[in-house]
Amino acid sequence: MSKEAEEIWEKNVAETGNVVINKEMFIKAWKGEFLKRKDLLELLKLSKKIFQHEKQLLEIKSEKTFFIGDTHGDFQTSKWALKKIFATDKGKIVFLGDYVDRGPEQIENINLLLAAKILAPKKIILLRGNHESPLANKYYGFFKEILRQYDAETYKEYNETFSFMPYVVLLNDKVLGLHGGIPENLKEVEEINSFSKGDLMPSNKKALQILWNDPKEYVGTFSPSIRGPGIMYFGRETFKRFMEKNKLSFLIRAHEYFPPCIKYFFDGKLVSIFSCRFYPECKPKMLVFRKEKIEEVLELNI
């Protein structure tokens, strides 16, 4: 396993000249080893610096793009996905958020993804999910895991880093990727770039709904969600109007668990995927896009 991580590190350094993360730290993260607090704080500092310079709406061009949904402490699924992208010379991978809480290897999972992001920041995209906030991760396992291994100050540093993650990715001007859904009163996607970085909860209502909203076939525009105050279901009419206004052809999101771990909405123009092994009847899914169309649905079997 060390040799595998070493080869990935050396290949990426040779290709990009990027030596921001040292080999030893990357190998430890790849193996799922806990970092010393000093090294962990360095990992968070380096990744936060990258997120600070990324726009809230990341516009990317790519011939081949992988998309993966919630991993929730599923270290092995995240590693499987990363092996796929590191095995290709070109292409990008988009993780749609929710890296912590619920699963058994939450710290290992997020550290692996942050280390990979530092190594290959243009190839690997980490979007923010609703669990990358103390609104969720203080209550669903991550806070306790951090206190068990580190301390409350370290928990604060993680959430500070999460608060700088981008919300949305736009692939080839046509495919929108985000964690939750379309928010109320968002007309044009470019407005997302006006959202503040470092918004911990977040306090911005539109940003919050991007992380929390869900699609519903039977809803016309918006309807209150059972998830809580200020969170909405968005329906077919809202979806159609938003997609046409922004000249988009497809939307990919995560956030919801469905037993097959994949579900299509709105005549197949929206897909919701889930990528965590620790849910019943769920074999983690990863979508492969060729330009702006789904080329393949990959399924993890462990």
Residues with a known catalytic role: 131
d(CA 120, CA 118): 6
Question: How far apart (Å, rounded) are the C-alpha atoms in residues 73 and 212?
Answer: 19
Q: Which residue has the tokens 């497809």?
A: 250
